[in-house]
Structure 1
Amino acid sequence: MRDRIALPDWNSLARLDDASLPLLGTALLIARDEYPDLDAGQYDALLQGHAAGMRDEIDAIGHWALKMRAINRHLFEELGYAGDHDRYYDPRNSYLNEVFERRRGNPLSLALVQMEVARRLGVPLDGVSFPGHFLVRLPVDDGVLVMDPFNRGRPLDVDELRQRARPHLGGDAPDDEALSQILNPASHRAILMRVLRNLHGVYSEGGDWERATRSADRLLKLSPNDADALRDRGLGYLHMGHNSGARADLARYLQLHPRARDAMKVRAKLVELGGAGRVS
């Protein structure tokens, strides 16, 4: 049976608020760009099976942290999900159907699997857009439990979180307030945009401008005024020889972000394209 879950329409996503944006459905919609015959219902049923196989056990556990430990054991030890340490930047690690099939993924895609299974079992697991590797978090009695999905759901203490954040914050470890802000739950929109940014980075680094441009275009379906996505789509169009599209996107980027660090380079590209290189 095909698509027992209804995938959203790309053109509807910008109108949905973050709470209404379906996480699994949109992640599979992203994958369908690369795998047009993808059967979304198959993967929804797979997740249901993952959860059903341990529902009685989870219901019998009283504490959130112990429930999560059992879920992690089921996913990472019994079912064999694991971080793809050997081919971290393989784009298959960002396509959820491939993650289900191969049982390999990157931190973000493994977090999506964790979150979907945990939530189906009544465990309120959220994602964290931590700098570097994506993490997950669970409220517990005395605060929040933060875990690393790329390393079998291993819990992380405050000191390790500070050290992980340090290289992304100019070498300074965040204080308590800054760390608390970093650990805020990520919205569905933020998670899905991070999936697409990862794909854009992999494809642009490899010179696959058709797929890189597609990833930037999909970002704009989620957030039409995202300046970086406009720039990235414009540069992708430029590489592909679509000069009119490049001109429109790069000009719009400068309107939204006139003091961007790369503004001079973007203006130079516009001049090359026959534009004025100035925006009001």
Structure 2
Amino acid sequence: MQLSLAIPTPLQYFASLVESDDHFPLLESAISLAQDEYPDLDVQQVLGDVDQLLARLKRRLPVDAPALQKLRALNQFFFHDLSFGGNVNNYYDPDNSYVNALLKTRRGIPITLGVLWLELASGLDLNVRGVAFPGHFMVKVNLPKGQVVIDPFTGQSLSREELAEMLEPFRPKSGGNDFETPIGLYLQSASPRDIITRMLRNLKEIHTNQQDWQRLIAVEDRLIVLHSDAWVEYRDRGMAWAVQGQNALAASDLEIYLSHMQDPPDHQVVSERLLELRQSSA
């Protein structure tokens, strides 16, 4: 009997990681996103590099260190000693979304920095979560005397007043005395699937703005693996396939979108594009 030793593709490997919400390795999934850009990337090596950082950090702390001491040591190590921080000079560089690049440059965007910080914090047994704050990913840690919200882009802890100010652009504009959503609802924990989705949608926006259709398609492939019922992603992948001249693949994706969406606002536009694709393939 012949054994199959086929190496999984990056997309197959990603699919195996994100299959279950009960066993969803956030850091490994985040690292794997870079495999489309860096085909020779060794994900296990990157995981090992992060483990080494954690080991260095743990050597700074006594075994019985309280949570607040651990948090202070982590922030000193991460933001000051290692100088991790936001890439203010080139915020929309795709490398900011890749953990392997972040480890080399020490520069990234809030969510990538946040994922790495969360891994180190979890390794110290801190009670931490990611926060899908509008427009800016945050991290939070629960301490015996309360909750601390940290901006992983700057390393600063944020007061409720500062968070409320950051929320202003996202609040509905109304002249009446409408009910204002409590700020706590914006600080709910984000699941690992939500975090990886947000990372991919950041990349999607970058590749769309740069009209980099091949890279956009690779991102859409992963989004559809994450959310098989994300019909808008089928539409967007189909449009990208069409620009690439892959009419059959484009038509298939647009058909899926139209068959599952009930009267979407772009129904006519997508239907007309689908008809053009069918006619050009006839």
**TM-score, normalisation: structure 2:** 0.86
Q: Name the stretch that deviates more: 36-45 or 188-197.
A: 36-45
The Cα shift of 1:176 comes to 7.7
Matching residue of 1:157? 159
State the secondary structure of the residue aligned to 2:153. helix
Q: Distance in 1 between matches of 2:171 and 2:185?
A: 13
Counterparts in 2 of 1:111 and 1:245: CA distance versus 1, 3 Å: same
Structure 1 residue 79 and structure 2 residue 73: aligned?
Answer: no
Q: CA deviation at 1:42?
A: 2.3
Aligned to 2:168: 166
Q: State the SS of the aligned residue for 1:85.
A: coil
Q: Within the alignment, does 1:224 sit opposite 2:225 as a pair? A: no
Q: What is the identity, as a one-letter code, of the residue corresponding to 2:106?
A: R
1:265 aligned to which of 258, 269, 272? 269
Query: What code does the residue aligned with 1:165 have?
Result: L
Tell me which residue corresponds to 1:61: 65
CA contact 1:11–1:221 (8 Å) conserved in 2: yes
SS in 1 for 2:150: strand
Alignment check: 8 A CA contact 2:17 2:25 kept: no
Moved more, 174-183 or 239-248: 174-183
After TM superposition, give the deviation of residue 80 of structure 1 in Å: 1.5
Residue type of the alignment partner of 1:144 = Q
Pick the aligned partner of 2:120 from 112, 117, 124.
Answer: 117
Are the structure 2 counterparts of residues 131 and 247 from structure 1 closer, same or farther at C-alpha, using a change threshold of 3 Å?
Answer: same
In structure 2, how many angstroms separate the alpha carbons of the residues matched to 1:79 and 1:28? 19
Q: CA contact under 8 A between 1:8 and 1:26: conserved in structure 2?
A: no
Task: State the number of aligned residues.
Answer: 266
Give distance in 1, aligned partners of 2:131 and 2:231: 22
Deviation for aligned residue 1:122: 1.0
The answer to whether the 8 Å contact 1:19/1:187 transfers is no
Q: Give the 5 Å matches for 1:229-240.
A: 229-240=233-244
State the TM-score, normalizing by the size of structure 1: 0.86
* Residue of structure 2 equivalent to 1:31: 34
User: Closer, same or farther in 2 for the Cα pair 1:70/1:256, shift >3 Å?
Assistant: farther
Cα gap change, 1:8/1:123 in structure 2, threshold over 3 Å: closer, same or farther? Answer: farther
**Structure 2 CA distance for aligned equivalents of residues 225 and 41 of structure 1:** 30
User: 1:1-280 counterparts in 2 under 5 A?
Assistant: 9-13=13-17, 16-58=19-61, 59-62=63-66, 64-151=67-154, 153-171=155-173, 178-274=182-278
What's the offset of the Cα at 1:53? Answer: 1.4
User: Partners in 2 of 1:19 and 1:248 — Cα distance?
Assistant: 32
Equivalent position amino acid for 1:154 in 2:
Q
CA–CA separation in structure 1 for the residues paired with 2:94 and 2:124 = 29
Q: 1:90/1:263 Cα in 2 relative to 1: closer, same or farther (>3 Å)?
A: same
> Quick one: percent identity of the two aligned structures?
35
2-structure distance, mates of 1:167, 1:146: 19
In 2, distance between residues paired with 1:11 and 1:110?
A: 23
Structure with the greater alpha carbon radius of gyration: 2
What is the CA–CA distance in structure 2 between the aligned matches of 1:264 and 1:159, rounded to whole Å? 45
Q: Relative to structure 1, is the Cα distance of residues 101 and 229 closer, same or farther in structure 2, using a 3 angstrom cutoff?
A: same
RMSD: 2.4
How many angstroms apart in 1 are the aligned matches of 2:115 and 2:248? 37
Gaps of 5+ in 2: 1-10
Preserved CA contact (<8 Å) 1:111 1:149: yes
The answer (yes or no) to whether the contact 1:8–1:25 under 8 Å persists in 2 is no
Unaligned segments of structure 1, at least 5 residues: 1-6, 276-280
